[in-house]
Structures are given as C-alpha cells and as structure tokens.
Structure 1
Amino acid sequence: MSYLDVVAADCRLIMLKELAGQNDHQLNETILTKVLENFGHLKTRDYVRTQIRVLEGLNAVSVKEVGSVLVVKLLRAGLDHVERRAFLEGVGRPSVEG
C-alpha cells in the first residue's frame, strides 16, 4: 500500500467516524473538509468529493446533492465499519479504543 493509499484510507475513516458521531448521521462536504483539516489532512474540495464517492461506492454512505454541495449520510455498512462489526476495503481500521 502506497503512502497516498494510506492517507486516503485514513481520510475515509475520519469521515465515517465523524458521521457516526452525528445525531442524524449526516454532514455536508464543507464540514467534512474542516474535520479532515483538524486531523492534519489539508485537502481540496475535489479530493474530499472523490473520497466521498469512494465511500458511496462501498455503500458506506449515501450522497445527496443540494445545490452545489454534497450532503453525506452514513449507511449501515459504514457504521458497521466504525463499530468494528465488519470492515470495508480501502478504509482505515478503527482502533479498539474508538
């Protein structure tokens, strides 16, 4: 696995964990970009959108376009990954501590 693959997997895990922490399990791409920045990943909007679409392809999230913004909602497969019940290829593994 290359360095870029490791970074992408970490970004995807961070997004899933943040969505899991929301009462309604959803956030928009702007907030997810800020969350990644807080974890040391300064990424472009296009990069974040690409990672969101990868997660959508894994059936971890659903995506709704509202105007020019993507709204992302966590699905069962994404929650199962965060809670360590099942794992998604290409997404970092959550630590046992959470």
Structure 2
Amino acid sequence: MMDFTEHTAQDVRLIILKALAQENDHRLNETILTHVLGTFGHTKAKDYVRTQMRKLEELGALRLIEAGSVLIAELKQPGLDHVERRSFLDGVLKPSIGG
C-alpha cells in the first residue's frame, strides 16, 4: 500500500496527463497546469508542479520545452496511451474506466 504523499503525487501526474490529452495540441504551460491542479484540490507550489512534470518526462509520458523561465509540457504517445488505458505507466494512478 502506498503512502498518502505518493498517492497524491500519482494523482497529480494523472491530472496533468489528462489535462494535456484534452488540448488540441497536447501542450500546456506550468502556470496553467498549476491552476488545473488547484481545481482538483491540489494547491501546490510551482516547484512541486515542476518536479511532477520532470517525473513524467523521465517516465516518457511527456516532453518538456523551456520557454524562457516557463516550462511547457507536451504529451507524448506513452502518456496518451496511459490516459486512454491502452498501457500503464508506473508512478501514475490508473485512470478510471470511462474517464
């Protein structure tokens, strides 16, 4: 059984992937992602969000682009496959069936 801190991190990672999957170009910047997380009850500092974005990059779920001092996340196929339940990434909560 995972502890609460890890469960929260895995939920945050799933929310990030789902948000990216909903965008036409599969991209969002860290500021927008921080706001999205807040709407799901995860009020987190920018450094925390950046850490989770980097973890998702390590997992191959997204690519990070630096635009000045801002990080932009771009969803990659493994991240989309996770959201659509075709395959799963360790360290990210599994999405519920149907959403």
- Structure 1 length-normalised TM: 0.99
Identical aligned pairs, as a percentage? 59
Corresponding position of 1:16: 17
Corresponding position of 2:56: 55
What letter corresponds to residue 90 of structure 1 in structure 2? G
Give the CA RMSD over aligned residues. Answer: 0.3
**Could you tell me how far apart the structure 2 residues matched to 1:34 and 1:96 are?**
25
**Could you tell me how far apart the structure 1 residues matched to 2:62 and 2:82 are?**
11
Give the count of matched residue pairs: 98
**Could you tell me how far apart the structure 2 residues matched to 1:97 and 1:3 are?**
25
Is 1:44 aligned with 2:48?
no
Q: Map 1:1-98; keep pairs closer than 5 Å.
A: 1-98=2-99
What letter corresponds to residue 95 of structure 2 in structure 1? P
Q: Deviations over 1:62-86 (max 9, x none)?
A: 0000010001000000000000000
What letter corresponds to residue 80 of structure 2 in structure 1? L
What letter corresponds to residue 45 of structure 1 in structure 2? K
What letter corresponds to residue 59 of structure 1 in structure 2? G
> 1:3 Cα shift?
0.3
**Could you tell me how far apart the structure 1 residues matched to 2:73 and 2:14 are?**
14
Q: SS in structure 2 opposite 1:94? A: coil
Structure 2 unmatched ranges of 5 or more:
none
Q: SS in structure 2 opposite 1:97? A: coil
